[in-house]
Amino acid sequence: MKSVHYDVIIIGGGPIGLACGLEAQKRKLSYCIIEKGALVNSIYNYPVNMTFFSTSERLEIGGIPFVSNNAKPTRAEALEYYRRVAVSANLNIHLFEEVSHVSRRKGNFLVTSTKAQYHTANIIIATGFYDIPYLLGIKGESLPKVKHYYDDPHFYAFQKVLVVGAANSAVDAALETWRKGASVTMVIREDKISDRVKYWVRPDIENRIKEGSIKAYFNSELLEIREQEVDIRTPEGKVTIENDWVLAMTGYQPNLDFLKKLGIQLSKDKVRKPVVNERNNQTNVEGIYLAGVICGGMNTHRLFIENSREHAKKIMADIKRKRAKASA
């Protein structure tokens, strides 16, 4: 394996990882962004027809304007914007390369990936939360018909689709597949659609449920999945319906076990929030910083691109300060 030294290694090539790279360039720090998937991989895995809740200017990074056709940009527009950012800034980013191990070596870190080894004094973890879905933990969940990521509604045309969940991903999947001719059933633990659903979408899903176009079982949960049918626990008792596909839109979680392996402390409550100095975003491990939504632990709805892009400035200012102090 080849071995290279950088001032900082950035793990995660999403919008916040890119923002960290831009800030490193601005402060003349050597860096490398390592991303295990495609460029802005989490956005790439969003549904193809997704529209952001945020406006385009709130998704901008590095002061580079994001111009979209409408106030709220689409997934395709976001992918194109972040690609242009990477190209125009000539960001040093390695794609489809996964970090497998991090260790201390003579005061620095040795970062080992699937393709190379890197020596660095500083690591920024900006891995987001989209990689690990919450599992249902029921019989049949491993069947090929069960999907934890939803992409293109055309695939489900004329199929019997069951959607688990009631937040934005679930509602988008239900409405879009129904409009492509799918017979859609929703299974919802609560007694209503989530309050987080985009305000311009909520009336649509509520009206489709009210008129019976989309069947919804509230206060219910999926019990078992089989090749051609599923069992649902409802307030009225168990219901069995025919089924071709299950879209389990139950949410996602950050890879906090990776942080624990690095020695980063997590809160002991269910949020499991990492210990982070709010002044510079450094963890309890000297030289390891967190940026983006992963700073919130399991509370993945607290931080977004617009309110965590400033992490890059705080972190790079601290790294630059430490470097200047060391060379003084």
pLDDT tens digit string along 234-272? Answer: 999 999 999 999 999 998 889 999 999 999 999 999 999
Average pLDDT over residues 55-60: 93
Domain covering 3-132+252-327 in this structure, CATH number: 3.50.50.60
Mean pLDDT score of the chain, rounded to an integer?
Answer: 94
pLDDT tens digit string along 143-173? Answer: 999 999 998 999 999 999 999 999 999 999 9
Report the alpha-carbon distance of residue 326 to residue 328 in Å, rounded.
6
pLDDT tens digit string along 109-151? Answer: 999 999 999 999 999 999 988 878 989 999 999 999 999 999 8
Residue with tokens 């952001």: 52
User: What band does 305 get if pLDDT is binned at 50, 70 and 90?
Assistant: confident
**Fold designation for 135-248:** FAD/NAD(P)-binding domain (3.50.50)
**In the chain, where the domains are located:** 3-132+252-327, 135-248
pLDDT of residue 1: 64
Question: Does this chain's domain 3-132+252-327 share its CATH topology with 135-248?
Answer: yes
pLDDT tens digit string along 72-116? Answer: 999 999 999 999 999 999 999 999 999 999 998 777 999 999 999
> Which residue blocks in 249-299 are alpha helix, DSSP H?
256-261
CB-neighbour burial class of residue 171 (10 A; exposed 0-12, middle 13-18, buried 19+):
buried
Specify the range with the lowest mean pLDDT, choosing from 2-11, 182-191, 311-320: 2-11
- Whether the Cβ atoms of residue 306 and residue 321 lie closer than 8 Å to each other: no
